[in-house]
Chains A and B, each alone.
Chain A
Amino acid sequence: MPHRMHLMVCAGTGCVANRSPEVRDALVTEIAKRGLENEIQVVTTGCNGFCGAGPLMVVQPDGIFYQQLSPKDVPHLVEEHFLKGRPVQKLMYVPPETRTPLPKMMDIPFFSRQRLIALRNRGLIDPERIEEYIARDGYAALAKALSQMTPQQILEEVKISGLRGRGGAGFPTGAKWEHVLKAEGEPKYVICNGDEGDPGAFMDRSIVESDPHSVIEGMLIGARAIGARWGVVYIRNEYPLAVQRLMIALEQAREYGLLGDNILDTGFDFDISVSRGAGAFVCGEATALVSAVEGRPGEPRARPPRLAQHGLWGKPTCLNNVETWADVPPIINNGGAWYAQIGTEKSKGTKVFSLVGKINNTGLVEVPMGITLREIIYDIGGGVPGGKKFKAVQTGGPSGGCIPNELIDLPIDFESLAEAGSMMGSGGMVIMDEDTCMVDVARYFLAFTQDESCGKCAPCREGTQLMLDILTRITDGHGTMEDLDALEEVAKVVAETSLCGLGTSAPNPVLTTMRYFRDEYLAHIGAHKCPAHVCRQLNTYRIDPAICVERGHGCGVCRRECPEKAIFGEKNQAHRVDATLCNKCGTCVDVCHFNAVIVE
Chain B
Amino acid sequence: MIRLTIDGKTTEVERGTTLLHAARFLDIKIPTLCYHPLIKPFAACRLCVVEVKRSWGMELVPSCHVACQEGMEVSTGSSHVLAARRLVLELMLARWPNVPILRKYAAELGLEKPRFASPLRDEREDACILCGLCVRACDEVVGASAISFAERGIGRRVATPFNLESESCIACGACALVCPTSYIKFEAEDHRGKPPEFLLDPNTAIYMPTAQAVPKVPSIDRDSCIHFQTGGCQKCVEVCEPGAVNHKMVDEEIEVEVGQVLVAIGYDTFDPTPMAQYAYGRLDNVYTGLEVERMLNSTGPTGGRVLLKNGKPPRAVGIVHCVGSRDENYHRYCSRVCCMYALKFAHVVKERSGAEIYNFYIDMRAFGKGYEEFYSRVLNEGANVIRGKVAEVVQAGWSKQKEGALLLRCEDTLIGRFREIPVDMVILCNAIEPRRDAEQVGRLFGLSRSPDGFFLERHPKLDPVATMTDGIFVAGCAQGPKDIPDVVAQACAAAARMMATISKGEVEIDPVRAEVMEEYCSGCRVCSALCPYSAISYVAERKVSQVNSALCKGCGTCVAACPSGAMTGYGFTDRQINAELEGVLAV
Residues of chain A touching chain B, judged by Cβ–Cβ distance below 8 Å, are: 280, 282, 297, 299, 301-302, 304, 450-459, 461-466, 469, 482, 486, 489-490, 493, 496-499
Assess whether B152 is interfacial by the CB under 8 Å rule: yes
Assess whether B149 is interfacial by the CB under 8 Å rule: yes
Which residues of the other chain, A, contact B154 by a CB distance below 8 angstroms? 450, 453, 455, 461-462, 464-465
A455 touches B41 (CB 8 A): no
Q: Which partner residue on chain B sits nearest A465 by CB separation?
A: B154
B49 CB, nearest partner CB in chain A, Å: 6
Which of A302, A452, A454, A465 meets B43, CB within 8 Å?
A: A302
CA gap between A244 and B572 in the complex, in Å: 105
Which of B47, B118, B152 meets A280, CB within 8 Å?
A: B152
A454 touches B153 (CB 8 A): yes
Which residues of the other chain, B, contact A304 by a CB distance below 8 angstroms? 66-67
Which of B62, B66, B119, B130 meets A461, CB within 8 Å?
A: B130
B91 CB, nearest partner CB in chain A, Å: 4
The 6 closest A-B pairs by CB, nearest first: A455-B156, A302-B43, A462-B91, A453-B153, A493-B87, A497-B46
Residues 117-166 (chain B) with a chain A CB within 8 angstroms: 118-120, 130, 132, 148-149, 151-156
B153 touches A452 (CB 8 A): yes
A450 touches B116 (CB 8 A): no
Assess whether B45 is interfacial by the CB under 8 Å rule: yes
A458 touches B46 (CB 8 A): yes
CA gap between A162 and B156 in the complex, in Å: 41
Q: List 13 A-B contacts (CB under 8 A).
A: A451-B153, A452-B152, A453-B152, A454-B152, A456-B132, A457-B43, A458-B92, A462-B154, A465-B153, A466-B91, A466-B116, A490-B91, A499-B62
CA gap between A462 and B368 in the complex, in Å: 79
A517 CB, nearest partner CB in chain B, Å: 24
A128 CB, nearest partner CB in chain B, Å: 36
A459 touches B149 (CB 8 A): no
CA gap between A498 and B153 in the complex, in Å: 13
Residues 70-94 (chain B) with a chain A CB within 8 angstroms: 83-84, 87-88, 91-92, 94
Given contacts A497-B49, A497-B60, contact A458 B116 (CB under 8 A): no
Assess whether B385 is interfacial by the CB under 8 Å rule: no
Which residues of the other chain, A, contact B119 by a CB distance below 8 angstroms? 465, 469
Which residues of the other chain, A, contact B65 by a CB distance below 8 angstroms? 302
Which residues of the other chain, B, contact A301 by a CB distance below 8 angstroms? 43
CA gap between A542 and B91 in the complex, in Å: 41
Query: Which of A280, A453, A457 gathers the greatest number of chain B CB atoms within 10 Å?
Result: A457
Assess whether B575 is interfacial by the CB under 8 Å rule: no
Which residues of the other chain, B, contact A489 by a CB distance below 8 angstroms? 87
B87 touches A458 (CB 8 A): no
Given contacts A455-B149, A461-B154, A462-B94, contact A493 B44 (CB under 8 A): no
Bitwise interface map of B from 381 to 418 toward A, beta carbon under 8 Å scored 1, else 0 = 00000000000000000000000000000000000000
Residues 56-70 (chain B) with a chain A CB within 8 angstroms: 60, 62, 65-67
Given contacts A457-B45, A457-B46, contact A462 B92 (CB under 8 A): yes
Which residues of the other chain, A, contact B67 by a CB distance below 8 angstroms? 304
Assess whether B95 is interfacial by the CB under 8 Å rule: yes
B95 touches A462 (CB 8 A): yes
Which of B87, B151, B156 meets A490, CB within 8 Å?
A: B87
A459 touches B152 (CB 8 A): no
Residues 443-502 (chain B) with a chain A CB within 8 angstroms: none
Q: Which partner residue on chain B sits nearest A297 by CB separation?
A: B149
A462 touches B153 (CB 8 A): no
Given contacts A466-B91, A466-B116, contact A297 B148 (CB under 8 A): yes
A197 CB, nearest partner CB in chain B, Å: 13
A497 touches B84 (CB 8 A): yes
Q: Which partner residue on chain A sits nearest B64 by CB separation?
A: A302
A455 CB, nearest partner CB in chain B, Å: 3
Q: Which partner residue on chain B sits nearest A503 by CB separation?
A: B46
B48 CB, nearest partner CB in chain A, Å: 10
Which residues of the other chain, B, contact A455 by a CB distance below 8 angstroms? 130, 149, 151-156
CA gap between A233 and B95 in the complex, in Å: 39
CA gap between A455 and B120 in the complex, in Å: 14
Query: Which of A455, A462, A469 gathers the greatest number of chain B CB atoms within 10 Å?
Result: A462
A412 CB, nearest partner CB in chain B, Å: 22
Assess whether B115 is interfacial by the CB under 8 Å rule: yes
Bitwise interface map of B from 282 to 302 toward A, beta carbon under 8 Å scored 1, else 0 = 000000000000000000000
Which residues of the other chain, B, contact A454 by a CB distance below 8 angstroms? 152-153, 156
A506 CB, nearest partner CB in chain B, Å: 11
CA gap between A223 and B318 in the complex, in Å: 87
CA gap between A299 and B151 in the complex, in Å: 11
CA gap between A499 and B66 in the complex, in Å: 12
Which of B43, B91, B94, B130 meets A499, CB within 8 Å?
A: B43
A499 touches B46 (CB 8 A): yes
Which residues of the other chain, B, contact A297 by a CB distance below 8 angstroms? 148-149
Q: Which partner residue on chain B sits nearest A497 by CB separation?
A: B46
A461 touches B88 (CB 8 A): no
CA gap between A302 and B155 in the complex, in Å: 21
Given contacts A462-B92, A462-B94, contact A496 B84 (CB under 8 A): yes
A461 touches B153 (CB 8 A): yes
B106 CB, nearest partner CB in chain A, Å: 14
Which residues of the other chain, A, contact B83 by a CB distance below 8 angstroms? 493
Which residues of the other chain, B, contact A464 by a CB distance below 8 angstroms? 153-154
Which residues of the other chain, A, contact B156 by a CB distance below 8 angstroms? 454-456, 461
CA gap between A464 and B130 in the complex, in Å: 16
A94 CB, nearest partner CB in chain B, Å: 46
A459 touches B46 (CB 8 A): yes
Beyond the given pairs A457-B45, A461-B156, A469-B118, 13 more chain A to chain B contacts, judged by CB atoms under 8 angstroms and listed by A's residue number, are: A297-B149, A302-B41, A304-B67, A454-B153, A458-B47, A458-B88, A461-B154, A464-B154, A466-B94, A482-B115, A486-B115, A498-B46, A499-B46
CA gap between A190 and B557 in the complex, in Å: 88
Query: Which of A450, A463, A469, A493 gathers the greatest number of chain B CB atoms within 10 Å?
Result: A493
Which residues of the other chain, A, contact B92 by a CB distance below 8 angstroms? 458, 462
Which residues of the other chain, A, contact B46 by a CB distance below 8 angstroms? 457-459, 497-499
CA gap between A46 and B245 in the complex, in Å: 65
B84 touches A450 (CB 8 A): no
Which residues of the other chain, A, contact B42 by a CB distance below 8 angstroms? 302, 456
CA gap between A280 and B149 in the complex, in Å: 15
A458 touches B91 (CB 8 A): yes
B118 touches A465 (CB 8 A): yes
Which residues of the other chain, A, contact B152 by a CB distance below 8 angstroms? 280, 282, 452-455
Q: Which partner residue on chain A sits nearest B46 by CB separation?
A: A497
Residues 373-387 (chain B) with a chain A CB within 8 angstroms: none
B194 CB, nearest partner CB in chain A, Å: 41
Q: Which partner residue on chain A sits nearest B150 by CB separation?
A: A297
CA gap between A198 and B326 in the complex, in Å: 93
Which residues of the other chain, B, contact A469 by a CB distance below 8 angstroms? 118-119
Q: Which partner residue on chain A sits nearest B59 by CB separation?
A: A496
CA gap between A383 and B428 in the complex, in Å: 104
Bitwise interface map of B from 181 to 216 toward A, beta carbon under 8 Å scored 1, else 0 = 000000000000000000000000000000000000
CA gap between A512 and B126 in the complex, in Å: 39
Query: Which of A450, A455, A469, A489 gathers the greatest number of chain B CB atoms within 10 Å?
Result: A455
B365 CB, nearest partner CB in chain A, Å: 74
CA gap between A256 and B86 in the complex, in Å: 61
B44 touches A458 (CB 8 A): yes
CA gap between A469 and B91 in the complex, in Å: 12
CA gap between A496 and B50 in the complex, in Å: 11
CA gap between A462 and B435 in the complex, in Å: 69
Which of B41, B88, B118, B148 meets A497, CB within 8 Å?
A: B88
Which residues of the other chain, B, contact A456 by a CB distance below 8 angstroms? 42, 44, 132, 149, 156
Which of B45, B151, B153 meets A458, CB within 8 Å?
A: B45
A293 CB, nearest partner CB in chain B, Å: 18
